[in-house]
Structure formats: structure tokens, C-alpha cells
Homo-oligomer: A and B are copies of this chain.
Amino acid sequence: MAGSETKAGNASHPLTDDELVRMDAYWRAANYLSIGQIYLLDNPLLEEPLKLSHTKPRLLGHWGTAPGLNLIYVHLNRVIKARDLNMIYITGPGHGAPGILANTYLEGTYSEIYPSVSADRKGMTRLFRQFSFPGGIPSHTAPETPGSIHEGGELGYSLSHAFGAAFDNPDLIVACVVGDGEAEIGPAATAWHSNKFLNPASDGAVLPILHLNGYKIANPTVLARIGDRELLSLFAGYGYEPLLVDGQDPLVVHQAMAQKVDYALDRIRTIQEDARSGRASARPTWPMIILRTPKGWTCPPEVDGLKLEGYWRAHQVPFAELASKPEHLKLLEQWMKSYRPGELFDHNGSLKPELAELAPKGLRRMGANPHANGGLLMKNLQLPDYADYAMTVPLPGAVMGEATRRLGDFLRDVMIANRAQGNFRVFGPDETVSNRLGAILEATDRTWEAERFDYDDHLSPDGRVMEILSEHTCQGWLEGYLLTGRHGFFSCYEAFIHIVDSMFNQHAKWLKVSKEIPWRRPIASLNILLTSHVWRQDHNGFSHQDPGFIDHVVNKKASIVRVYLPPDANSLLYIADQCLRSRDKVNVIIAGKQPNPQWLDMDAAINHCRAGIGIWEWASNDQGSEPDVVMACAGDVPTIETLAAVEILDEHLPDLKVRVINVVDLMTLQPREEHPVGLSTRDFDTLFTTDRPIIFAFHGYPWLIHRLCYRRTNHDNLHVRGYKEEGTTTTPFDMAVLNDLDRFHLVMDVVDRVPSLGASGAYLKQRMRDRLTEHKRYIERVGQDMPDIRDWKWAGRQKTS
């Protein structure tokens, strides 16, 4: 396309004069549109003198990072076209959405998805008006934004999302901008190490671009003030080849950027070709770009005598008070006109054709790339029949089993069945084997691109078990993997899942909004298995005991969140299968890894889990009548303690009618009006009665059950035991005792709530107190639980009515 009059590009100046001029114009168009979105309601082309009525009464949005984001976008467009690349763009500083929206509008994607925002004056007016405007679109790169898989409102997760997107996508290049101080954030600071988990042969590439524009909200960024020596050393230390692009003169920066982007893509190609042809086996040093340009680049250098361009004041709206300061309105007009809109848009308001042709076409446009709408590409998992992994349970409680070990067998075969389509990985902070999911390692290795030694244990570059001691990175990788249309499973110590509370929030919010956007296709759910849970952290002690993630999760939209507490191995298998089939949800499964009595054969488990809640007839003796007491339980340890209590009651108070209810799907407890799986009032009342005492043994903090049930008829009779923040290094049973969740306390609770028991109740209560004293003495002498506690197995009810 370069006319004969243009100087040809070369290695240090790869852009011809014509390219340079047109790319700069395209960049100016993106900048112009970015500002327009922040400021204007009307007069988008500034065809008439700018009046206050053309501007928004509330000015909302962020300018500072936009010119840099726009520069990167334009330069990526160039190489996508030149090299026919399959590329997506992750905007770390998602508040720079005006730039991303401008670019998806310029490339045509935006108008295709949102036809009313057309490529003309009228559409441009809509583009400007809708931004950060009631009834319009958000101020960040939200689900509404074409080409985005990353909201970026909360900084810190762009790089882990980018690597998650790149895994198993060998043709994809994920450009990821880290900027506006994001690099200071812990999860970002460790996510750079993801390059030790990326296989150049079978994964795609990530091109990180550190946008070092000097400032965050009101302060310099740390990395902008450490000098080039430390800066380059840091990224070399992270294992990258840093390429510095530095400048303030657009035309100089364009040439430098084009050169470094070309170099980076050459390096990526070479690295991939070497790995894929078997020429290289060592971990490559991937390129990354450090782009150092002024914050708010190209805005007025000063306003009201105060420094603006290249300073933190340009972070959000560079200047406001348009009504009270007419000179600001004038300044805005001058500023916008400095981009020479007449050169960029025709009289209809459409981008001029010689600029429009700079954008890639069709699905190569970053706003249209289907990887950023992962549901489009998602293939269903091939799932073996979970029933094949069932434990044989001839009678409830007759056998012992480790629930997560069974799950490991199932996941191993899920791994095998989907090896060919390469769309399943499991994630965890170094705990896959500790959580007894080790069978997966029979089918694949742990992903490891760093140094290996011959005595290493299941480490290889093409492993699909991803372990790094960073819950943030595990979660971020998985989110990126799911958002680009794949499937996964995250297992974590229960207490430390709180590390990703805020990431969970952001993902749940993304899913909630995505479901409201017609063009966003459903993606696989985020499945989190919490094991090594509160009741079995007796050896690590108090710091490892926290069941509160459920409380956090249930604050999010009912349409998004599910919480499962399968009581044994077969129910865990069924639930895991369901979770792997579900879409657009966050599923939290809590299941222990220790040997426990098994209650349900596969059929019983299926029926029980389908209902989500139910009476365990075989443990109850109220058949055909109203019970004297309802003993409810949710979670594996509470289930054991409840059944042990039932056995004690049966021995001592055989006439007491006890109904045992087990809850697998915690959300069934909520009213149907509040949650789609909630029980109707009638069903709840049928289960829990309307007037009998309920002793509820719960896995988590007890008040959560009240919060879910406070509208239920029989709530006043609901008495919940759970973790009340007592614990230390002790025995497993003592953990229950410290929190009054043990069988002895549960029996005492029953006695307290069924007044008719009289003297036999009082006698039993004293027995229980004696047993507790005996327990305490025993463990402090011997160091482990009493044999009849340790070896307890459900012997079945001795009598049923």
C-alpha cells in the first residue's frame, strides 16, 4: 500500500512514512473517541462550536491510560494484519475502557454487535453518550465490551488471566497490558512466573506489555521510579527479555514500538518453531515490552497552571468544572480538535477508508476474536460414567473410604478422556496429592517448564496438573482458561481459599452480567473443591481453620452460586459430575479427604443428591409419625457426629422418635423465592416439621444456617452447631468437642430441647458430660482420640419403630 513517495521501512524504522502517518492518524482517532466518551453528549465531530449542553453533566471515566492502550491496540492491529495472527487483548487497567471501546468501534466490531452504535455521526453520538451513563455501559472493560475477558476494575489479575487463556491454545497470542500500578499488586507480582508453566510446543504465547506511564491514582508507581538498571534486571529475573520503548514524541514512539513489536513476534515465532520442531527443550526466554509514555499522553500539558500530561492528574477526567469555568470548555474543544477529527472521519462521521483498512478483518479483529467469547468455542467435556467409580456400600456405614481419593480416580479418567481435545486441567496450590487426588498423576504430570532433575516426581512441560504456591495464580489461570472456553477444577485448603475471595467476587460478577448479555455464550463453571477442611486441620491448628468461604459465596447472585456438602464418596462423585456439566456458575464443593464411613450406595447417592436434601430413613425411627426431634446435618464430619449421636440416643432413649435429615445442596435451605434450588415452604415444612426441635450440625459457621432459614416456619426451633472459631493443634474429635459439634454435645442438645425426657434425659446428659471429661483426660494423656471414637462405625439402629 505504501505509495512510491514514502520512505521504505527498515529494521530500526520498520514503518514506511505512509504507514507511520496513517497509524498515527488511527491512533489519534482512537484518542479522540476516548475523550469524546468521557466528555460529550452531542456534537461528536465538533462541527459546531462546543457548548456546555454538548457535554455530560457528570464527567466519569479514566483518560490517563487510554492513549497508551490505544497505541498498543493500533500496533497490534498492524502485526495481526501483517502476520495473520490470532490475538486477543487483555486490558489490565480495565478503567481504560474508553480506549478499548474506541478501538472496537473503529475496527467495526462494536457496530456489528450493537447496530445502533453505527459507524456514523449518529452512532458516534450514541457511543459517546452511553459511556458511563445511566442506561448505558460501564466505565470498565466489562462483559459488555467486545473482545474482553477481563473487567480490570480490580487490578492484579490480567497476567494470570492471560496465561490461562494461552494454555492449550497453540495458535493464540494473548497480548496483556499491565499498567497504572497493577504491577505493584501481589497477585500480579507473582503472575510473571507463569512463564515457568507455559509450554511453547502446545500452548500459545503471552506478550506482556508493562505500560509504565508513571502514575497510579495519586502517586508515582514504584516501577516507574527504580531506574532502568533495576527495572530491566527485575524482568530478566522473572525470566523475560524486556524490550524498552520509551518516548514522548508520537512519531518516534511509533517507530520504536513497531520495531519492538516486530522483534517480539519474531522471537515468539522462533521460540514456538524451535519447540515444536523439537530443536529446543530448555525453557525459553519470552519477550515482553516495557512501554514508557506519559500518563494522559497528548492531553493539555497544564490546566489551571497545574501539571496535567505526564502526571497523576491525568488519571481520570483530566479537568472538569465545565459549567463554572468556561475556559475549561474551550480547552476541551482545543484539545479534541488537536487530533484533527476532520482528517480522521468523513462528513458522515465514518472513519476514513484509508484508516479503516489498517484494522484486521473478521474474526482477526481483537474485538471479534471468538477466544474472548469462550462459550463460542467450548466443547463439552467427555465424561466417563461416574457410577463406575462408586464405592460398594452394602449397608450404610459398613465400609470406610476416602471421598477425594475416589474423586481422584474419576478425574484421572476425565483427564484421559479429554486428552485429545485438550481442554481440561486441574489447578491447586501444591496440594493435589495431599488432597488425595493423586490418581490424576497416573494420567498426566504436573506442568513444569523450569529446570528438572531425574529424581523429579511427575513434572513435565505438557502436564495438566497446575501447581504453584499461589492461590491467586491458580484461580486466575483457571478463570482465563474457562473464559476462553475450556474446563477445569481447582482444589484448595478450605481456610486459604479466602485468599481469592476478591477474585471470586469479580468472577461471579462477570458471570452475572454475562448472563444478561445475549451475545455472550455460556462457559463452563468454576469448580472449587475445598478439602483439608476446618474439622481436619487439627494438626495444622487454628490458622488453618476457617469455613467462612461459604458465607462469602452466598452473598453473590443466587443464579450464579452453588454450595455442595456431599457426605461421602458416592455423593461426591455425583456432585463433581454435575459441576463439570454445569455452566456459568461457581460451584463450591466441600469434602474431606480422611477415611470416613460411607453412607450411600450409588443409587441412593444419586437420589439424595438430585433432591439436594432428604430424610435418611435408615437412620430415622419416626416412620409414619411426627418425630420428637429432627437431627439435621450438612458436611461429612457433622454427618458422622449426628449419626453417632443418633446411635447413643437409640441406645439410651429407644422410644425417642428421631428424624435424620442430610443436606447436600446448601441452597435448598433458602426459600424458593430467593434461590432457584430452594425448597418450597411446603416441602421444607414437611421435612423439618413446623414445631419440633431441630438440632442442626453444620460444617461451617452456625449462623449461616439461620441466615438461610430465618423465614422458615419452624425457625424458632432451629438450633445450630458449627464452627465457632475455637481450635488449636489437637485431635480430630477434639475439634468437634471444642465447638460443641460432637456427638456428646448433640445428645445433650436433644435432651435440652425435648423436655418430656425427664429423668432419663437428665441421666443421659450426665453420662455425656462424663464422656466429655473422659475424652479430655484421654487425649491429654495419650495424644489421640479414644478407640471407640477413632474406630466408630455406624452399627445401624438397633430398633426401628
Residues in A lying within 8 Å of B, measured CB to CB: 41, 56-58, 60, 94-95, 132-140, 142, 151, 153-156, 181-182, 184-191, 193, 196, 216-222, 225-227, 230-239, 307, 311-312, 430-434, 446, 448, 450-452, 455-457, 459, 467-470, 472-473, 495-496, 498-499, 501-502, 505-506, 509, 512-513, 539-544, 546, 548, 551-552, 555-557, 701, 703-704, 706-707, 710, 715, 725, 728-731, 734, 776, 779-780, 782-784
A283 to B541, CA, bound (A): 41
Residue numbers in B under 8 Å from A452 (CB-CB): 225
Q: Which of A56, A225, A238, A715 has the most C-beta atoms of chain B within 10 angstroms of its own C-beta? A: A225
Q: How far is the CB of A430 from chain B (nearest CB, A)?
A: 5
Residue numbers in B under 8 Å from A234 (CB-CB): 233-234, 236-238
B230 touches A237 (CB 8 A): yes
A455 to B311, CA, bound (A): 9
Given A190-B186, A470-B185, A546-B505, A701 and B555 touching (CB < 8 A)?
yes
A543 touches B498 (CB 8 A): no
A448 to B450, CA, bound (A): 36
Return 17 A-B CB contacts under 8 Å, by A number: A57-B782, A58-B731, A94-B543, A132-B729, A135-B776, A139-B729, A153-B542, A154-B496, A156-B186, A186-B190, A193-B222, A220-B450, A225-B448, A498-B552, A501-B552, A509-B543, A556-B725
B555 touches A548 (CB 8 A): yes
Residue ID in chain B nearest A733 by CB atoms: B134
A434 touches which of B95, B132, B218, B546 (Cβ 8 Å): B218
A469 touches B155 (CB 8 A): yes
Residue numbers in B under 8 Å from A311 (CB-CB): 455
Residue numbers in B under 8 Å from A451 (CB-CB): 225-227
B184 touches A542 (CB 8 A): no
- Copies of the protein in its oligomer: 2
Q: How far is the CB of A515 from chain B (nearest CB, A)?
A: 13
A606 to B726, CA, bound (A): 35
B218 touches A186 (CB 8 A): no
B473 touches A181 (CB 8 A): no
Residue ID in chain B nearest A221 by CB atoms: B469
A730 touches B134 (CB 8 A): yes
A496 to B140, CA, bound (A): 16
Residue numbers in B under 8 Å from A184 (CB-CB): 190, 193, 468-470, 473
Residue ID in chain B nearest A706 by CB atoms: B710
A186 touches B473 (CB 8 A): yes
B186 touches A188 (CB 8 A): yes
A186 to B473, CA, bound (A): 8
A217 to B546, CA, bound (A): 20
B470 touches A186 (CB 8 A): yes
A446 touches B138 (CB 8 A): no
A710 to B710, CA, bound (A): 7
B140 touches A469 (CB 8 A): no
Q: How far is the CB of A498 from chain B (nearest CB, A)?
A: 4
Residue ID in chain B nearest A498 by CB atoms: B502
A95 touches which of B505, B540, B555 (Cβ 8 Å): B540
A450 to B234, CA, bound (A): 15
Residue numbers in B under 8 Å from A539 (CB-CB): 58, 60, 132, 139
Residue ID in chain B nearest A433 by CB atoms: B218
B237 touches A140 (CB 8 A): no
A58 touches B542 (CB 8 A): no
- Other than the known A153-B541, A186-B470, what 6 A-B pairs have Cβ atoms closer than 8 Å? A132-B729, A181-B430, A186-B188, A225-B448, A311-B455, A513-B542
A219 touches B446 (CB 8 A): yes
B509 touches A151 (CB 8 A): no
Given A237-B235, A470-B185, A542 and B509 touching (CB < 8 A)?
yes
A546 to B434, CA, bound (A): 34
B236 touches A230 (CB 8 A): yes
Residue ID in chain B nearest A191 by CB atoms: B186
A132 to B190, CA, bound (A): 32
A62 to B136, CA, bound (A): 56
